[in-house]
Amino acid sequence: MRFATLKNGTLDGRLVLVASDGQRAVDAAPIATSLLAAVQNWEAVEPALRECAAALEAGTTAGIFAFDPAACSAPLPRSPQWLDASAFLNHGRLMERAFNTPPIPHFDTIPVMYQGASDDFLGPHDDVPMPSEADGIDFEGEFGVVCGPVPMGVTPEAALNCVRLVVQINDWSLRALGPHEMKTGFGFLQAKPSTSFAPLAVTPDELGAAWQGGRVHLRLHVDSNGQWFGHPHGGEMSFSFGQLIAHAARTRRLTAGTIIGSGTVSNQARDAGSACLAERRVIEILDEGAAKTPFMRYGDSVRMQARWPDGREGPFGVVDQRVVAAGTGAR
């Protein structure tokens, strides 16, 4: 199943099911009025939602309408919890060099994860308001999962059974603010503005063979200001989503609707490019002695889309956003 949430002036939006062609949709109500409600009552509503999705695919249900991704909020406009990891160790090691921080102990064996703000996510085509260009505005292309209830102490293997949906993420970052917050030991706050999501949240079965070992085996294609920037592959993820969920739930249970991110998709092969500016900049420092790629300025844009191995448009849709000065953007 493929879910999207249309903006309707409410906090949780209007839940719709979207056909596999990405062109048609139908309301999910009265089965579930929001995606959060669906995830929180998954066992009760999943059969009816799958029946509705099958009827949409066949064109036999009433109320089918044209799907417009530009009218979407994030699939979950807000969630009980947003936890983001750094599960691609290649990216993490490069960021240590970028921030000139000492190596994190047990980095290869214990996932690094921070707790972000989950009360106000951005939609795939929303302008992104930022207070200052001097803050080092950066994008970060990621994958993520939306969980059902997760018991404390779950194993990585059992944790994968808690995955309800898979999503594509742009985890906006302000690089000039990050080093200070990292040194405080209290985690990110100002350095992590509202996170953006591609329009579609999909059940793992929609990914087929691309969902293996708790990883998204697709390339994430990233364009910056209309130019190719990278196409790193999600299969190089060092910790699986099962391991990330188990890490988050080691000392507490997780409620339904918790989102866990992979961290920036990153590959060791340089010809894969990058999914964030900071990674490109530190590679330039290592290879050429100085960073040449600037951080984003007002009016700059980024486009992200996972694609199938044959090049077809992938299952999540497109994130296509523009940075604007705070107070001037449209939501």
Q: What HEC string does 137-199 produce? A: EECEEEEEEEECCECCCCCHHHHHHHEEEEEEEECCEECCCHHHHHHHCCCCCCCCCCCEECC
Residues whose CB is less than 8 angstroms from the CB of residue 106 and which lie 6 or more positions away in sequence, other chains included: none
Single pTM value for the model: 0.95
Q: In which residue are the tokens 């290869």 written?
A: 108
Is residue 329 very low, low, confident or very high in pLDDT (cuts 50, 70, 90)?
low
Domains within the chain, CATH numbers bracketed: 2-67 (no CATH), 82-325 (3.90.850.10)
Res. 54: pLDDT tops 70: yes
Is residue 182 very low, low, confident or very high in pLDDT (cuts 50, 70, 90)?
confident
**Closest by Cα among 39, 18, 256, 25 to 150:** 256
268-284 pLDDT, tens digit per residue, is 999 999 999 999 999 99
**Distance (Å, whole) CA 200 – CA 19:** 11
Residue 104 pLDDT: 75
Residue 268: beta bridge partners? none
Torsional sign, CA 47, 51, 52, 57: positive
Is residue 179 very low, low, confident or very high in pLDDT (cuts 50, 70, 90)?
confident
**Distance (Å, whole) CA 244 – CA 262:** 8
In the chain, the amino acid numbered 328 is T
Give the pairing type, strands 211-212 and 113-116.
Answer: unpaired
**Distance (Å, whole) CA 320 – CA 126:** 8
Q: At what angle do helices 277-288 and 89-99 cross, to 10 degrees?
A: 70
Residue 331 pLDDT: 59
Is residue 330 very low, low, confident or very high in pLDDT (cuts 50, 70, 90)?
low
Percentage with pLDDT > 70 across the chain: 98
Would you call the peptide bond into 30 cis, given omega within 30 degrees of 0 as the criterion?
yes
Residue 98 pLDDT: 65
The arithmetic mean of pLDDT across residues 96-120, rounded, is 83
Neighbours of 102 (CB within 10 A): 6
Residue 96 pLDDT: 75
**Distance (Å, whole) CA 248 – CA 212:** 21
